[in-house]
């Protein structure tokens, strides 16, 4: 899996334009084959970044996306940044979930305040640690 992260720091005057572009491409990008997730996140403090996070099942799918019309629009949003954008492509070979927390902490509080040393994931509804479908969203 590849996680693509694009951090854009627009001027306050252009922030709305950047958000509009990224929100408009979120659905079409998420619908592309092998796109696991596409999220637009907004840091809330003044002068903060707007961050696009995409997760791709394969490098081939990411390459195709980078050549797409949707990515041309992402490049247009990047051009609105008032400083150098932060762009990263992280290649992930393994993902773990709640089981890591259970293993490292031994026991966790349950929602009712009691502690459990086994079955925490099923208690809090996070069994498996992975979703089977596409993630929605943004902030």
Q: What is the pLDDT of residue 115?
A: 54
> Domain span at residue 111?
95-125
Residues 33 and 16 grouped into a single domain: yes
121 vs 94: CA distance, rounded Å = 19
48 vs 68: CA distance, rounded Å = 27
Residues 53 and 108 grouped into a single domain: no
For the chain, 139 residues long, the average pLDDT of each consecutive 10-residue run is 96 94 96 96 84 97 96 97 95 89 76 55 42 41
pTM of the model: 0.72
Number of alpha carbons in the 13 Å side-chain half-sphere of residue 103: 5
Residues 58 and 113 grouped into a single domain: no
């Amino acid at each position: 899996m590849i996680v693509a992260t694009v951090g854009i720091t627009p001027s306050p005057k252009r922030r709305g334009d950047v958000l509009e572009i990224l929100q408009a491409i979120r659905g079409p990008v998420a619908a592309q084959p092998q796109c696991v997730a596409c999220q637009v996140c907004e840091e809330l403090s003044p002068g903060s970044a707007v961050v696009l996070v995409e997760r791709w099942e394969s490098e081939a799918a990411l390459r195709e996306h980078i050549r797409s019309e949707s990515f041309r629009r992402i490049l247009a949003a990047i051009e609105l940044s008032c400083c150098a954008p932060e762009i990263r492509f992280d290649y992930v070979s393994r993902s773990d979930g709640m089981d890591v927390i259970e293993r490292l902490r031994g026991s966790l509080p349950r929602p009712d305040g009691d502690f459990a040393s086994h079955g925490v994931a099923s208690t809090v509804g996070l069994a498996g640690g992975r979703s089977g479908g596409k993630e929605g969203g943004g902030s």
